[in-house]
């Protein structure tokens, strides 16, 4: 026993603080506190937080008084040493604090703090007979007040430290944090049960029966097992729990005991809405074609030399099938697989395909899942019992932080997708790059897959850093869609434009509708939205808090700001010259939808963009309707470019390619190529070659020529040259430094001062300061610097110097905010 030694714990708080805080461990807990556990601690005079113990030591800190740890929230560590290494890497590489990483790594309910508000869990059955005194006190006041902050709860109970009690109540599903409730995303989840592998053997099952039969107290378990088997028909079948619980002989308590004993395995599965449509082939006997087989074999045989692979496969080439075989190979060895997707909600057909193949071994992790679901997945990822452990996790970027036991492979699908990068808040990390680091920590492999790889990954492959493999043909054998260009300038001259549609596009849509085929129209989000404009002086109303023009929203009949939500009624009069000739101009998805209804009155038109999909499940119902052919023409923004797999789409229209190409960003050609190619890939997938029509003012633009020719290499070669000449990634690393202040004049002065100081360190490597495209957002003005550092220079040293400088500026100018973005997207 180490009883009399004075021990201290370094605690990470879920706040942007530069370091850990030291707390003293009460003697009686010397043996109980370990790194990775949560503890309740006080910061300042009254704020209480749940912090995470990083490590325990005996070096007394150099301060007057050290506060004690108030309570232990977890009996065992919830964060492993490996995860801490990942957190530390992210903090160093992306220049943020450990507390920032903690804030995204742990589900919100694991981050209780004084300001957190709790409410009664809507799933709580209201039975208060079994509650402890404090618990019922809290429930009583919640019944009156609806929401209580943790400070309020302290007062109600007359105790200072209530976190461990609240934590318990959350675990028991009695209460829930408000944040949790608001972000509750309810996929359709159902419980499935099956017999554990052990009892699927005849002999063992017989033994089990005779044990259960022998004792009167086990009668209910005996009957539950019998009921299960009568429903399941085969010992290895899986049935919905709800089916079982409907039976008269079913006993919930006996069932719970049997799950605990490991007789039954209970898994939650996300119900796929596309289940009935997805490919009818039973993937259990999936056979790769020759090309896929070659790719698979090459990946495996080279894995030890090159643990990272880039798979460049055209849309429909069957990358998923290759992934499936790789996953199978890895889980056979008892290792886990993480399958990363850019946007979980947009890819449920892919999930259902994997679920069909791997069944209950798959867990799906989404940051919008409820606490219970996430907590369950969290436990099942690190479960020491092989039987109840998830072998495969499908998730968006936050699933990188799950407590994997033994990771063998990470797949990053659509690796080029910019939503892998978190913009705000810190940590501004890129999940693809972080995945490679995480895989390395576990000595695992990484496969990056895409039909349009990022320039960076393709470069790494060309340089020999990654293994490089290609799938050049569609699995079905159909050709990639034929792409035509409609010259808007010419068409306008010839008076052949129907509002925003060229004659060529109208003709193809008409033909498709006649053949009962479907159409997808893509309008870039950066395209013009509908705006009010004065015909006399050109005035456009703009937001009072941000430097953006307001756009018209038909549903609410208001002019709105996309950045802060500010809105006003439609104006009848120009705000500048007073003229009454104000008119709606523009070309948003909503306007296109309206126009289509005019030109194709018999077609069923639907729109998919941020506005129409904000409500729960609305995205799903649009997709379902499109899948069920209840929609003929689907108009949408970026969302329609991602992974949808329909086999009746014969025409894809890109309404205005120029808005993508002309966007002022060094990646705009690359992005334009990727988006146009991806959306083209939605045409004619299975039986018939599809058609794509690109409308543009610049039909001979190189980016458009490359899309038409499916010339990824051509795009790559011209772009990589530009990147080298103009000093951009992958040859240079970028760090974006943004300085923000409410006063424009003050900001200008501070930015100039910053420039002087940073130039002393980095010389000509620093660009700026410049106002971004939108200089003011939510009343803050922003000025940006861009630092370009040669690959071979030490980035660690540069980061250290920037940190010191930023520290100095934020101390000196209290009202200034500085954010750092490493590898900005
Ligand atoms: P990608 O992900 O590369 O765009 P998919 O994996 O979606 O391509 O495959 C395209 C279509 O071809 C899917 O409908 C898939 O079921 C089918 N497919 C691909 N490979 C095979 C295979 N080996 N056996 C059967 N069907 C396959
Ligand atoms: Zn005017
Ligand atoms: Zn605004």
| CA-based max dimension of the chain | 93
Pocket residue to mutate for ligand 1, from 282, 316, 353, 643, most atoms within 8 A of Cβ: 316
What phi, psi does 227 have (nearest 5°)?
-60, -45
Please list, residue by residue across 762-799, b when 16 or more beta carbons sit within 10 angstroms of its beta carbon and e when fewer do: beebbebbebeeebbbeebbbbbbbbbbeeeeeeeebb
Query: How far apart are alpha carbons 512 and 673 in whole angstroms?
Result: 25
Query: In whole angstroms, what is the distance from residue 683 CA to residue 742 CA?
Result: 48
CA of 583 to the centre of ligand 2 (A): 11
Question: Which ligand has an atom closest to residue 776 CA?
Answer: 3
Whose CA is closest to atom 16 on ligand 1? 279
Q: Which atom of ligand 1 is nearest to the CA of 471?
A: 3
Q: Helix (H, G, I), strand (E, B), or coil: what is residue 57?
A: strand
- The pLDDT, as a whole number, for residue 187 is 47
Closest C-alpha residue for ligand 1 atom 9:
318
Locate the ligand 1 atom nearest the alpha carbon of residue 353 and give its number.
16
Q: Tell me which residue has its CA closest to atom 21 in ligand 1.
A: 318
Q: For helices 81-93 and 431-441, give the axis angle rounded to 10 degrees.
A: 140
Q: Which of 475, 677, 679 to mutate to test the pocket of ligand 1 (most atoms within 8 A of CB)?
A: 475
Residue found under tokens 């085969």? 234
Residue among 595, 622, 562, 623 nearest 777 (CA)? 562
Phi, psi of 66 (to 5 degrees): -110, 130
292 CA closest ligand 1 atom index: 23
Ligand minimally distant from the alpha carbon of residue 480:
1
pLDDT of residue 354: 86
Best of 321, 416, 472 for a ligand 1 pocket test (most atoms within 8 Å of beta carbon): 321
Write the pLDDT tens digit of every residue in 285-338: 789 999 999 999 999 999 999 999 999 999 889 999 999 999 999 999 999 999
Ligand 1, atom 22: closest residue by C-alpha:
288
Closest ligand 1 atom, CA of 289? 23
Could you identify the atom of ligand 1 that is nearest to the CA of residue 286? 24
pLDDT tens digits, 508-550? 999 999 999 999 999 876 544 677 888 788 788 888 887 777 8
Q: How far is the CA of 351 from the centre of ligand 1 (A)?
A: 14
**Could you tell me the distance, in angstroms and rounded to a whole number, from the CA of residue 576 to the centre of ligand 2?**
5
Cα(155) to ligand 2 centroid in Å equals: 58
Residue pair 687/478 in contact (Cβ under 8 Å)? The answer is yes
Q: What is the pLDDT of residue 282?
A: 43
Point out the ligand nearest to the CA of residue 537. 2
What is the whole-number distance in angstroms between the Cα of residue 537 and the centre of ligand 2? Answer: 4
Distance (Å) from CA 476 to ligand 1 centroid: 8
Q: How many residues does this entry show for the chain?
A: 825
What would the two tokens of residue 449 be? 């897959």
Calculate how far, in angstroms, residue 543's C-alpha sits from the geometric centre of ligand 3: 5
The set of long-range contacts for 384-390, using a CB threshold of 8 Å and a minimum separation of 24, is: 385/262, 386/334, 387/196, 387/197, 387/198, 387/262, 387/265, 388/262, 388/265, 389/336, 390/336, 390/361, 390/362, 390/363
State pTM to two decimals: 0.79
pLDDT tens-digit map of 178-211: 765 554 434 456 788 888 888 888 888 888 988 8
- Residues in the chain with pLDDT values less than 70: 1-3, 108-115, 160-161, 179-189, 269-284, 345-348, 367-373, 375, 525-529, 555, 562-563, 586-587, 610-617, 643-645, 663-664, 685-686
Ligand at shortest distance from the CA of 687:
1
How far, in Å, from the CA of 742 to the mean position of ligand 2?
Answer: 29
Quick check: 392 and 354 in contact, CB under 8 A? yes
Cα of 575 from ligand 3 centre, angstroms: 17
Q: Which one of the ligands is nearest to 581 CA?
A: 2
The whole-number pLDDT of residue 235 equals 73
Q: Which residues line ligand 1 (CB under 6 A)?
A: 279, 281, 286-289, 292, 313, 315-321, 475-476, 645
Residues 680-701: tens digit of each pLDDT = 988 885 678 899 999 998 899 8
Question: Of 318, 449, 679, which is best to mutate to test ligand 1, by the most ligand atoms within 8 angstroms of its C-beta?
Answer: 318
35 vs 60, 77, 79, 96, 192, CA distance in Å?
Answer: 17, 7, 8, 21, 35
Phi first, then psi: give them for residue 253, nearest 5 degrees.
-70, -40
From the alpha carbon of 319, which atom of ligand 1 is closest?
3
Structure tokens at 560: 């709105």
- Looking at all shown ligands, the one closest to residue 580's CA atom is 2
Helix axes 98-105, 81-93, angle to 10 degrees: 120
């Amino acid at each position: 026993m180490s009883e009399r030694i004075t021990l201290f714990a370094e605690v990470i708080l879920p706040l942007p603080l530069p370091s850990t805080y030291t707390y003293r461990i009460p003697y009686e807990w010397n043996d109980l506190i370990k790194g990775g556990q949560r503890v309740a601690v006080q910061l300042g005079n009254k704020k209480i937080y749940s912090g995470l113990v990083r490590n325990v030591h005996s070096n007394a800190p150099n301060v007057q008084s050290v506060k004690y740890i108030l309570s232990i929230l977890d009996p065992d560590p919830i964060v492993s040493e490996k995860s801490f290494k990942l957190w530390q890497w992210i903090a160093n590489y992306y220049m943020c604090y450990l507390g920032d990483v903690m804030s995204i790594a742990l589900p919100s309910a694991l981050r209780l703090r004084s300001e957190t508000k709790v409410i009664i869990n809507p799933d709580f059955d209201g039975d208060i007979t079994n509650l402890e005194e404090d618990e019922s006190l809290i429930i009583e006041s919640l019944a009156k007040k609806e929401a209580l902050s943790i400070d309020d709860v302290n007062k109600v109970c007359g105790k200072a430290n209530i976190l461990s009690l609240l934590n318990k109540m959350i675990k028991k599903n009695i209460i829930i944090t408000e944040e949790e409730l608001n972000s509750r995303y309810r996929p359709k989840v159902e419980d499935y049960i099956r017999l554990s592998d052990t009892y699927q053997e005849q002999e063992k099952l017989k033994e089990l029966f005779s044990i259960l039969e022998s004792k009167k107290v086990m009668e209910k378990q005996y009957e539950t097992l019998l009921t299960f088997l009568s429903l399941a028909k085969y010992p290895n079948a899986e049935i919905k729990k709800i089916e079982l619980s409907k039976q008269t002989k079913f006993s919930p308590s006996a069932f719970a005991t049997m799950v605990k004993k490991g007789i039954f395995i209970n898994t939650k599965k996300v119900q796929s809405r596309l289940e009935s449509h997805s490919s009818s082939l039973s993937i259990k006997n999936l056979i790769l074609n020759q090309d896929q087989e070659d790719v698979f074999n090459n990946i495996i045989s080279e894995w030890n030399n090159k643990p990272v692979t880039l798979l460049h496969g055209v849309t429909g080439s069957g990358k998923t099938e290759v992934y499936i075989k790789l996953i199978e190979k890895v889980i056979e060895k008892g290792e886990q697989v993480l399958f990363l997707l850019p946007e979980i909600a947009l890819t449920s057909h892919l999930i259902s395909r994997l679920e069909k193949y791997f069944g209950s071994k798959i867990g799906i992790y989404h940051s919008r899942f409820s606490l219970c679901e996430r907590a369950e997945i969290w436990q099942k990822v690190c479960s020491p019992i092989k039987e109840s452990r998830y072998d495969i996790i499908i998730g968006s970027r936050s699933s990188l932080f799950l407590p994997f036991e033994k990771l063998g492979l990470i797949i990053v699908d659509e690796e080029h997708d910019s939503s892998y990068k978190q913009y705000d808040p810190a940590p501004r990390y890129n999940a693809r790059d972080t995945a490679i680091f995480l895989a390395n920590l576990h000595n695992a492999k990484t496969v990056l897959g895409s039909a349009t790889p990022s320039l960076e990954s393709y470069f790494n492959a060309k340089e020999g850093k990654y293994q490089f493999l290609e799938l050049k043909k569609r699995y079905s054998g159909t050709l990639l869609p034929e792409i035509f260009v409609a010259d808007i300038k010419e068409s306008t001259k010839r008076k052949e434009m129907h509002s925003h549609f060229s004659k060529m596009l109208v003709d193809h849509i008409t033909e498709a509708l006649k053949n009962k085929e479907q159409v997808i129209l893509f309008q870039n989000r950066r395209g013009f939205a509908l705006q009010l404009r004065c015909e006399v002086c050109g005035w456009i109303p703009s937001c009072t808090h941000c430097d953006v023009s307001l756009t018209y929203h038909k549903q609410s009949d208001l002019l709105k700001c996309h950045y802060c939500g500010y809105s006003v009624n439609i104006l009848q009069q120009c705000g500048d010259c007073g003229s009454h000739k104000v008119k709606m101009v523009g070309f948003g998805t909503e306007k296109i939808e309206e126009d289509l209804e005019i030109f194709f009155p018999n077609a069923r038109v639907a729109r998919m963009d941020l506005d129409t999909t904000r409500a729960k499940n609305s995205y799903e119902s649009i997709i379902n309707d499109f899948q069920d052919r209840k929609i003929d023409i689907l108009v949408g923004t970026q969302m329609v470019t991602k992974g949808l797999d329909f086999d009746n789409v014969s025409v894809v229209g890109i309404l205005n390619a120029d808005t993508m190409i002309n966007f002022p960003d060094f990646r705009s050609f690359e992005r334009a190529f990727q988006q146009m190619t991806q959306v083209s890939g939605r045409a004619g997938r299975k039986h018939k070659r599809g058609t794509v029509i690109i409308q543009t003012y610049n039909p001979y633009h190189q980016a458009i020529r490359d899309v038409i020719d499916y010339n990824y290499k051509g795009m790559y070669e011209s772009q990589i040259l530009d990147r080298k000449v103009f000093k951009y990634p992958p040859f240079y690393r970028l760090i974006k430094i943004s300085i923000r202040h409410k006063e424009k004049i003050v900001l200008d002065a501070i930015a100039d001062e910053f420039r002087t100081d940073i130039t002393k360190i980095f010389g000509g490597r620093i660009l700026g300061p410049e106002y971004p495209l939108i200089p003011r957002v939510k009343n803050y003005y922003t000025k940006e610097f861009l630092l370009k550092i040669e690959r071979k220079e030490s980035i660690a040293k540069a980061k250290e110097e920037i940190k010191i400088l930023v520290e100095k500026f934020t101390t000196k100018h209290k009202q200034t905010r500085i954010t750092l973005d490493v590898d900005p997207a």
